[in-house]
Amino acid sequence: MAILVGARANHKRVSEHLVKLSEKYNVLVASTVSSKGVFPENHRNYLGVYGYSGHRRAIETLLSNKIETLILLGFDTTQWTSLVWEEDIKKGKYLLQVGTDIKDLDFVIDIDSVIISDEAEFLSFLERSGCLEKIKYANESLIKDLQTIPLFYEVVRDKGSGIHPADAIQMINECLGDYICIADSGNHRSFTTHYWVSRGTNKFFSANTICPVGWAIPASVGISLARKDSCVVMTGDGCMLMHGIEIQTAARYKRDILYIVFNNSYYGATYFNNKRNIKEMSALPTHNWKKFSESLGLTGWRVNTLDELRSALKNKSEQSGTFLIDMICDHEPETPVSEYKARVVEAGVL
């Protein structure tokens, strides 16, 4: 048995129940781009992100017949979360959907049973029902088996030069893995969703439905004020052009936030989505975000290599305050969306 958690269940009460149940009864948990961080991503019972920018372990397992019962918990069925409406999620399984929003239930994915319930209440009922005792033993060997499937897809390195965003995210994660991570809109979101491993729970934020570019910059100020934890924001040069000026507010109120600008001189996502466009549709001047940040009271660094990135991260990790890393990179490295993209192409959208 496994639970695939969606956006509606991405809150603290559900996380607490999920971790407790998973540890007590070996329940496997997967998330989506809209619920990443609801369960610790370094946990042995974690399958990974399913859908857009999803993990290999989650996609392979949930599309196989290794899982007998799959519970979709607070699941928001979108093109991203459903892996382009992939029907194989039903393969060999009993599908149960639990949630409170009637519009979500039995929508597009053909469900076997539906329960209208608060997600956390449902989990505590599930435990009281006693049925998880059986799962505990059945899932034990499955968990060992699944550990052999890597979480990540292999990084594709045949395009672009300089810092590869996948390497950058893994390095940032290694140095600042306890920070709250806030991902903006663009290729950098895809890399972050895949390669950032959220330790602990409720420490990952990203706007996934309307996806406004630059959202993460002002959102980080609110998140920092509400949570009072260190934050790292993965943003792009296009995002900075939309809402970058908001870093002023962060510095003015001395928020402990590190902004990392994936400065690839492109609206990278636009380039990938509209390859036949004229260059001017997606190319951008290489702005100096280090100087921009300094003019607004932040400390800025510009980095061109992974070594320079590591030393800037080390510097930040030793102090609190508002900082920006202007990271020069290429727009061409492929985002980790091969499974998603193949389905979009098959549907004739791209």
Ligand X SMILES: Cc1ncc(C[n+]2csc(CCOP(=O)(O)OP(=O)(O)O)c2C)c(N)n1
Binder of residue 48, out of Mg ion, ligand X, none (CB less than 5 to 8 A by kind): none
Does position 244 bind ligand X by CB under 6 A? Answer: no
- Please classify residue 225 by burial: count the beta carbons closer than 10 Å to its beta carbon, then call 0-12 exposed, 13-18 middle and 19+ buried: exposed
Q: How far is the CB of 234 from ligand X (least distance, A)?
A: 9
- Span near ligand X by CB under 6 A; candidates 26-34, 173-181, 235-243, 313-321: 235-243
Partner from Mg ion, ligand X, none contacting 213, C-beta within 5 to 8 A by type: ligand X
User: Does residue 153 belong to the site contacting ligand X (CB under 6 A)?
Assistant: no
**Segment 172-201, which members bind ligand X (CB under 6 A)?**
185-188
By CB under 6 A, tell whether 289 contacts ligand X: no
- 239: contact with ligand X by CB under 6 A: yes
Residue 237 interacts with ligand X (CB under 6 A): yes or no: yes
Using the minimum distance from each CB to ligand X, give the nearer residue, 124 or 338. 338
**How would you classify the pairing of strands 113-116 and 46-50?**
unpaired
Question: Which residue's structure tokens are 């599930």?
Answer: 126
Q: Radius of gyration (Cα) for the chain, nearest Å?
A: 20
The full DSSP string for 122-165 is HHHHHHHHSTHHHHHHHHHHHHHHHTTS-SSPPPP-SS--SB-H
Query: Which residues, including other chains, have CB under 8 Å from residue 155's CB and lie 6 or more apart?
Result: 164, 166, 167, 336
Please check whether residue 232 is in contact with residue 172, taking contact to mean a CB–CB distance below 8 angstroms. Answer: yes
Q: Which residue is nearest to Mg ion (CB)?
A: 236
Q: In residues, how long is the chain? A: 350
Q: Quick one: which of 39, 262, 289, 340 contacts ligand X (CB under 6 A)? A: 262
Pick from Mg ion, ligand X, none: which does 340 bind, CB < 5 to 8 A by kind?
Answer: none
∠ CA 30-32-36, nearest 5°, is: 85
Number of residues that bind Mg ion (CB under 5 A): 6
Please give, one letter per residue, the 3-state secondary structure of 233-291: EEEEHHHHHHHHHHHHHHHHCCCCEEEEEEECCECHHHHHHCCCCCHHHCECCCCCHHH
DSSP 164-186: -HHHHHHHHHHHHTTSEEEE-SS
269 near ligand X (CB under 6 A): yes
- Select from 74, 236, 333, 336 the one that contacts ligand X (CB under 6 A): 236
Window contacting ligand X (CB under 6 A); options: 68-76, 115-123, 166-174, 260-268: 260-268
Which of 165, 244, 268, 300 touches Mg ion (CB under 5 A)? 268
Q: Give min distance, CB of 279 to Mg ion, in A.
A: 14
H helix or E strand, kind and range, residue 70: strand 69-73
Q: Of 86, 237, 246, 256, which lies in the binding site for Mg ion, with binding defined by CB under 5 A? A: 237
By CB under 6 A, residue 213 contacts ligand X: yes
- The footprint of Mg ion (CB under 5 A) covers 236-238, 264, 266, 268
- Binding residues (CB under 6 A) for ligand X: these are 185-188, 211-213, 236-239, 262, 264, 266-270, 331
